[in-house]
Structure 1
Amino acid sequence: MLEVRQLHVSRGGKAVVHGFDLDVAAGEIVALLGPNGAGKSSIVLALAGAVARSQGRVRVHGTALEGLSPDAVRRAGLAIVPEGHHLLGSLSVHDNLRAAAMLLPAAEVEPAIARVLKILPELEAKLAQPGRTLSGGQKQMVCMAQALLARPKVLVVDELSLGLAPLVVRRLAEVVRRAAADGAAVLLIEQFTTLALSLANRACVLQRGRTVWSGGALALREQPEILHGSYLA
Structure 2
Amino acid sequence: MTEYLWAPPAAPSLPVRGQAARLPVNRLFFVGRNYHAHAQEMGRPVDKATERPFYFTKSPQTLLASGSVMPYPPETANFHYEMELVVVIGKPGFRIRQEDAHEHIYGYACGLDMTRRDLQLAARDKGRPWDLGKDTELSSICGEVVAMPGRVVESGALSLTVNNEVKQQSDVSRLIWNIREIIADLSLFYHLQPGDLIYTGTPEGVGPVVPDDTLHGKVEGIGEIALTIGAAE
Structure 1 or 2: more strand by fraction: 2
TM-score scaled to structure 2, two decimals?
0.23
TM-score scaled to structure 1, two decimals?
0.23
